[in-house]
Amino acid sequence: MKKLRKIVGALAALVLIGWIASRLFAPAKPQDLFEGYVEGDLVQIGPVEGERLAKLNVEPGDQVARDAALFTMATPILDEQRAEAKAKVAQSRANMKNLQASLQRPEQIAVLRAAVDSAKAALVLSQTEYERQVYLLPRGAATVAARDQAKFALDRDKANLAQAERQVEAGLIPSRSHEISAAGATITQAQAEFDQIEVRIARQTVHAPANGVIQDVYFWPGEIVAAGQPILALLPPENRKIRFYVPEPQLSRFTLGAKVSVACDNCRPGLQARVIYISQQAEYTPPVIFSLQERGKLVFRVDARLDDPAVLLPLGLPIETRLLAVEAAK
């Protein structure tokens, strides 16, 4: 037993000596060399209205141009609403041709006035719903699409009330011009509803806001996606940046706009970037430990943008930067 303890003690001593030697004789990192990686600001793109994803035109890694169609949502309900709105437009135009110039009978006037009361009640409800959506939107409890839908409903009910009131006026006055005016308002209102639905259908096909690379796809055709929920992530070239970490004693050398050289495995020589952000809060370690020497250091995050946006370095690629002598001397 004593012999075994001696052997274990000797092995532990050898391990300790080896660790100390590795720390003492490990190559020191140059003081002007700063390690980091490639980072990117992703553009998360989702639908305006929630529905089933009908078509996906891209895959991860695809290069897309600005305004290219990315995906299309299904529109079964909107298609039905469009058909209904189209029928209302046709009906309104047909009524224009069948106007009567004589006074309406009292029973007909009573029906028209009841329609006015109904339109007023609908307007009160839509006004309340719109005000509720406007109140909830900045608090994160509603979506822009819901607010817009409430606004469409409010505008529709206002037009319906105006139409009903004009019909009463036309029924009381034996003037063909008044009836024609009311019919014209009906056609305008019906056409507005049809145009709004056309816009909503068109918005269900989402296009790329800029040139870039499809970095990731979160949903595939057939899945249900909520309004505003990202379906894919787009990375424009100008959104790539270099992120590295500077020890506290070296931080005073860096200023916004300072130039740094950038090097990485298999990167072309001569890459340079300009500092666009310097953290005001210290970190004790970077998110990725690149070496034992990094542990326990007080470091500050610095972001820099490559001078050449055509250089598309992959996200997460380890890089090394040096503050250029010209900038460091300023």
- pTM score: 0.58
The answer to whether the Cα torsion of 164, 169, 170, 172 is positive or negative is positive
Domain ranges of the chain: 28-41+236-328, 43-71+206-235, 75-203
What are the C-alpha distances in Å from 254 to residues 121, 245, 321, 325? Answer: 65, 11, 12, 11
pLDDT at 253 over 50: yes
Contact of 231 with 47, CB cutoff 8 Å: yes
3-state secondary structure of 271: strand
Alpha-carbon distance 37 to 314, whole Å?
Answer: 9
Tens of pLDDT, residues 78-122: 999 899 899 989 988 888 776 644 445 666 777 777 888 888 888
Give the CATH architecture of domain 43-71+206-235. Beta Barrel (2.40)
Average pLDDT over residues 40-62: 93
How much is the pLDDT for 144? 82
- Report which of 53, 168, 55, 79 is spatially closest to residue 116, judged by C-alpha positions: 168
- Report which of 79, 89, 283 is spatially closest to residue 186, judged by C-alpha positions: 89
Alpha-carbon distance 210 to 234, whole Å?
Answer: 9
The burial class, CB within 10 Å (0-12 / 13-18 / 19+), for 66 is exposed
| CATH of span 28-41+236-328 | 2.40.30.170
How much is the pLDDT for 158? 87
The mean pLDDT of the chain is 81
For residues 28 and 251, which has the higher predicted lDDT (pLDDT)? 251
pLDDT category of residue 134 using cuts at 50, 70 and 90: confident
**Beta strand 63-64 with 205-207: parallel, antiparallel or unpaired?**
unpaired
Contact of 299 with 285, CB cutoff 8 Å: yes
Tens of pLDDT, residues 8-17: 355 444 544 5
Alpha-carbon distance 189 to 194, whole Å?
Answer: 9
Average pLDDT over residues 139-157: 83
- CATH 1.20.120 matches 75-203: no
H/E run at residue 193: helix 176-203
